Amino acid sequence: MENDDDIPTLVDETAISPSKVPVSILTGYLGAGKTTLLNYILTANHQRRIAVILNEFASGSAMEHLQLTSTTDDNNGNGRQRYEDWLELRNGCLCCSVKDVGVQAIEQLLEKRRNHFDYILLETTGVADPLPIVKMFWLDDELHSDLILDGLITVIDAYHGLKNYADDRHQEKALWSRQVAMADVILVNKIDLVSEEEKAKIHSLIKSINITAQIYETTRSCIDLSLILDRHAYNTDTPPDYLLKNIHEHTSTLIPHGHQTLNSITIELNGKFDFNKLDQLIIQLLWNEQNTTQEIVRMKGVLCLHNESTYKLLQAVGQMYEFIATKENHNDNLRNCLVLIGSNLNQEYLREQFQQCIT
Ligand SMILES: Nc1nc2c(ncn2[C@@H]2O[C@H](COP(=O)(O)OP(=O)(O)OP(=O)(O)O)[C@@H](O)[C@H]2O)c(=O)[nH]1
Ligand SMILES: [Zn+2]
């Protein structure tokens, strides 16, 4: 490992915002192409300094690690070097450890390496449920973290994905669907291995699970990094286009309903919400106080509230949610759009519930 002082940097230190370092979480089923993507990133010629943190677990090993691999430019300013570090996570598995441990470990690393990277990519294992990991990094401002969650990138194996999904007996289906459901960006990888017909099928399957994710097709995970990084999926204060214009009320018909089947529904309503009623309803839904079989894993919305002239954004992950103020005036175009992603979602019922919160 090199000495910190020996590592030259290409990017002017002062040009880097002292503010928070974005974290993108990388997920995808076993063999989908995550490591291929990381290798691509570590060797590609981009102007970013990305620290890659791996969350790999050797079976039977008592000691679990987060491995950091980062790149920086060599003395001539053209090649790239690597250095490695290990972060030990006492609580083991990232996806079931206490919320703060992983974040703290990464923050400590950031402290040590502050001038050596300006972006963090966290690769989870192929069998990780992304929900608790996203929750862990979606930090409250009051925690004064140096990290900010940028979004979740899911790599899908275009060739095996459909097969994994189609096989009802496997646990894989549930996990695969959750990785799709939580994604902000999806890479449909190994596109070289599938026919046009299979491609179309995988696209409609993905869209029925997650109508809001941006989808890109890749071979060997090659992608313009600007398409997958800096998405600001959780901290934007501008209403995303897909909620303002592109989505029309939608309920998924492709996938048969049943346990473990995730899908997206959208609800469009006109008028202004009574904030207190809406807030109560969201708590009820997220905490399943109505005792239904439905589970909401992700919710997004662009909303008009009573007595407010600008749109509010709603973001929810698992049972956490927040309202974000925007500067965008709705100009009395009182169209609200909500997207809910989860299992056993009954669109009619949910629509009615939200309708009752309109003043
Ligand atoms: N044909 C084809 N093979 C690919 C492509 N991308 C990756 N592969 C191969 O697929 C295999 C798995 O890729 P990895 O990048 O290791 O997948 P991973 O998601 O990191 O796998 P795990 O760490 O086991 O979860 C490797 O043999 C890759 O070379 C692609 O676009 N096309
Ligand atoms: Zn891998």
**Distance from the alpha carbon of residue 46 to the mean position of ligand 2, in angstroms:** 22
- CATH number of 4-228, picked from 3.30.499.10, 3.40.50.300, 3.40.50.11820, 3.40.30.10: 3.40.50.300
Answer yes or no: is the C-beta of 36 below 6 A from any ligand 1 atom: yes
Locate the DSSP E strands across the chain. Answer: 21-28, 50-54, 65-73, 80-88, 119-123, 147-157, 185-189, 214-217, 262-270, 295-303, 310-317, 320-329, 335-343
Structure tokens at 71: 């790149």
pLDDT for 50: 83
pLDDT for 169: 59
CATH 3.40.50.300 residue ranges in the chain? 4-228
Determine the Cα–Cα distance for residues 267 and 58; give it in Å rounded to an integer: 44
pLDDT for 106: 79
Q: Which residues of the chain fall short of a pLDDT of 70?
A: 1-18, 55-102, 114, 140-143, 167-170, 242-260
CATH code reported for the domain at 241-355:
3.30.1220.10
What contacts 279, CB < 8 A, 6 or more positions away?
none
**Distance from the alpha carbon of residue 35 to the mean position of ligand 2, in angstroms:** 4
Report DSSP state, residue 13. Answer: G
CATH 3.30.1220.10 residue ranges in the chain? 241-355
State whether ipTM is beyond 0.95.
Answer: yes
**Distance from the alpha carbon of residue 220 to the mean position of ligand 1, in angstroms:** 7
